[in-house]
Structure 1
Amino acid sequence: MSAFSPYYDAHVRTLAAEAQVIAVSVEYRLAPEHPIPACYDDAWAALQWIETHANRDSPDPWLNENADFNRVFAGGDSAGGNISGNLASRFGSFGLRGIRVVGAFLVHPYFGGAEIDDKMWLYMCPSASGIDDFRMKPSVEDLGGIGCERMLVFVAEKDHLCGPGKVYYENLKKSVWKGMVELVENKGEEHCFHLKITTGDNVVVKKIVSFINQD
């Protein structure tokens, strides 16, 4: 879904206000017109663009003057949760010299779970090695190179992506990664229910705010 969607715009604004942070919402290219890895590359390019502001002399004065480049977080829901997990791995593989990525939060992330999801993945990513591609179903070994200090994973009880989200969490705990990870299960809730709640009572927003602002 577009970053300009009323749902996502309201959600990001609420999160930024509650956490008192600057949010950069990425309008990444979509399959099938732009097959994977376009979405991953666009998200990474956004982080690199943020990094160009670390010297306080780049295009966006708001970032130059107000951003804390030592406390950067990546996050998203559904496909965005998958992309955020991929970014966390890229931090470890490539690094970002000008900024410190502290953590990532994955809300109801898309890591497969049903036959239709596997078919969709192969359609969106014709160059994939299969349904066990590391971007779709990262293994314990794949997750060992996560490059941030902490991770927060949400799953929703009534979401068919709940099981794969828990597998991601368990594999992360089993990996050689030395960071901290927490799993939050939204009992009785469906996929991305939080987008319909645009007030400070949003339990997902509250948890992300706590995750971002903890010492």
Structure 2
Amino acid sequence: MDSANLEVAHEFQFFRVYKDGCVEKFFWPTQKIPPSDDFITGVQSKDVIISSEPEISARIFLPRLSDPSQRLPFLFYIHGGGFSFESTFSPLYHPHIRAIAAEANAIAISVEYRLAPEHLIPACYEDCWEALQWVASQANGKGPDPWINKHADLDRVFIGGDSGGGNISNTLLTRVGSIGLLGVRVVRAVMIHPFFGGREDDDEMWLYMCPGNGGLEDPRLRPVARDLARLGCERVLVLLAENDHLREVGGDYYKRLKKSGWKGTVEIVETTREEHLFHLFSPTTEKALALIKNVSSFINQD
């Protein structure tokens, strides 16, 4: 930020906007770490380019292979950060997704989507949809990434994310259920502490970042029954935290989905006495490890 006008026009939880249009983010810049081979878990990681225009990249995680010919479940993960900060390459998300890949014995990809308000919503939704289509384009085993070609079972695709990433996951699932995704079968979805508005500051920030919105009843912010009824997967797991400010809207999402007429099954697990995204900030605690096991078990359940 380099604002010549220090008069604030808008101030939100994660950033403020000055009258000359400059943006000051409170959690910026996000630290990023390179991909690596982890000698403890055996998980390898690498970065790939999804698109150069717009610029979309991703990090892929490949667990240790006991059989080089085996096909593994595939997790498509979307990081959180209020649509405006954080990164799949950060010290919070890299070990988190690596841990899921190791515990679930699954290939995982996490998308580095464009952030608001520099790139207004729906950029983040469109970037993640393009990345999901990029994955689907490799269903014939002749795509640009050898890990996906050789080891991904694209008949067992899982979509998931936390906070804002959980919100984006819901919109992707609605699209999959509405228009399909050729060559891919999305079987389940995991939403960790998902964001669906609810507090005045959260709502106002989302509406500012998404000027082409439908108000507080925009279906991306408040999913409606007709969209929930056509989610393109068979099962959904919603994870909540008791002391999370998003607990109520996450629980409401679970109730709405159950009543929507959707033919799948949804389950909910709540961690007691914990805050929003506690597992990212204290990943070695008993409850954080239990969350990873919950997600991994859900991926591998028959």
Q: TM-score, normalised by structure 2?
A: 0.69
Letter in 2 for 1:212: I
User: What are the residue-to-residue correspondences of 1:23-42 with 2, within 5 Å?
Assistant: 23-42=108-127
Q: Where does structure 1 lack aligned partners over 5 or more consecutive residues?
A: none
| Pair 79,117 (structure 1): closer, same or farther in 2 beyond 3 Å | same
Instruction: State the Cα RMSD in Å.
Output: 1.2
Matched, 1:204 2:204: no
- 2:80 corresponds in structure 1 to none
**Residue of structure 2 aligned with 1:91, choices 176, 184, 205:** 176
User: What are the residue-to-residue correspondences of 1:66-105 with 2, within 5 Å?
Assistant: 66-105=151-190
| Residues 168-200 of structure 1 deviation map (CA, whole Å, 9 limit, x = unaligned) | 000000011100100111111100001134459
| Residues 145-184 of structure 1 deviation map (CA, whole Å, 9 limit, x = unaligned) | 1110000111111111110111100000001110010011
Kept in 2, the 8 Å contact 1:104–1:152? The answer is yes
**1:52 CA displacement:** 1.2
**Residue of structure 2 aligned with 1:6, choices 63, 69, 91:** 91
| Pair 200,117 (structure 1): closer, same or farther in 2 beyond 3 Å | closer
Secondary structure of the residue aligned to 1:141 is helix
| Pair 123,136 (structure 1): closer, same or farther in 2 beyond 3 Å | same
Rounded Cα–Cα distance in structure 1 between residues aligned with 2:291 and 2:183: 30
**Residue of structure 2 aligned with 1:123, choices 208, 227, 250:** 208
**Residue of structure 2 aligned with 1:195, choices 280, 283, 294:** 280
Rounded Cα–Cα distance in structure 2 between residues aligned with 1:199 and 1:61: 32
**1:142 CA displacement:** 2.5
Secondary structure of the residue aligned to 1:126 is coil
Q: Bigger shift: 150-159 or 190-199?
A: 190-199
Secondary structure of the residue aligned to 2:110 is coil
User: What are the residue-to-residue correspondences of 1:140-179 with 2, within 5 Å?
Assistant: 140-179=225-264
| Residues 45-65 of structure 1 deviation map (CA, whole Å, 9 limit, x = unaligned) | 111111111111111011100
Give the number of the structure whose residues are more often helix, by fraction: 1
| Pair 17,116 (structure 1): closer, same or farther in 2 beyond 3 Å | same
**1:139 CA displacement:** 2.0
Secondary structure of the residue aligned to 1:26 is strand
- 1:21 corresponds in structure 2 to 106
| Residues 85-121 of structure 1 deviation map (CA, whole Å, 9 limit, x = unaligned) | 1111111011111110001111000101210011011
List structure 1 runs of 4+ shifted beyond 3 angstroms.
Answer: 197-201
**1:138 CA displacement:** 0.7
Letter in 2 for 1:176: G
Q: Where does structure 2 lack aligned partners over 5 or more consecutive residues?
A: 1-85
Rounded Cα–Cα distance in structure 2 between residues aligned with 1:149 and 1:167: 19
**1:141 CA displacement:** 2.5
Secondary structure of the residue aligned to 1:181 is strand
Secondary structure of the residue aligned to 2:92 is helix
Greater relative contact order (Cα < 8 A, sep 6+): 1
- 1:44 corresponds in structure 2 to 129
